Amino acid sequence: MQVQNIKNSQYNSQNFQGRIDIIPGDLSYEPAKYVRKAYNAMENLIKDKPYNLYIRQNHKQNNVSLIVQTEDQFIKNKGLRTEGIVSSNMDMYEELANHLVNVHDQKIKNQPKPLSQKLKAGLNVVWHKFLKAFEIEE
């Protein structure tokens, strides 16, 4: 039996697929109408991002929260999070999503590097100096 050789170039590079999730899975009539209207624009905005856009309706306060966060941090309810609230009967989802994505990108850019990345960068510098010191001239 022969197995076809599959080129894994798409798996070698990071390929982000941000998506839109509606929590708990359903919206009432008014917000659903406005989300449907802005959905394609929001989807294009988030599709290449390393995080998702979550939409959650609060029936008691008659508003909808848009949350920008990675999936694992959203599940654990911690980490870097950007959230905005819009009234259920307003058509501002596309503008709010655009603003939240821009703010979240700035937060990611300004976030301090974790200790593991700092150590890795420091060790790379030391390793290159070590190799340069013991380089044999021909």
pLDDT score for 5: 44
Question: Which conformational region is residue 15 in: left (phi greater than 0), alpha (psi within -120 to 50 degrees), or beta?
Answer: beta
Sites in the chain below the pLDDT cut of 70: 1-16, 136-138
Q: What pTM does this model have?
A: 0.70
pLDDT score for 111: 84
**Tens digits of per-residue pLDDT, 23-46?**
877 788 888 899 899 999 999 999
pLDDT score for 55: 92
Any idea where the domains of the chain sit in the sequence? 9-111
Q: What fold characterizes domain 9-111?
A: Double Stranded RNA Binding Domain (3.30.160)
pLDDT score for 136: 63
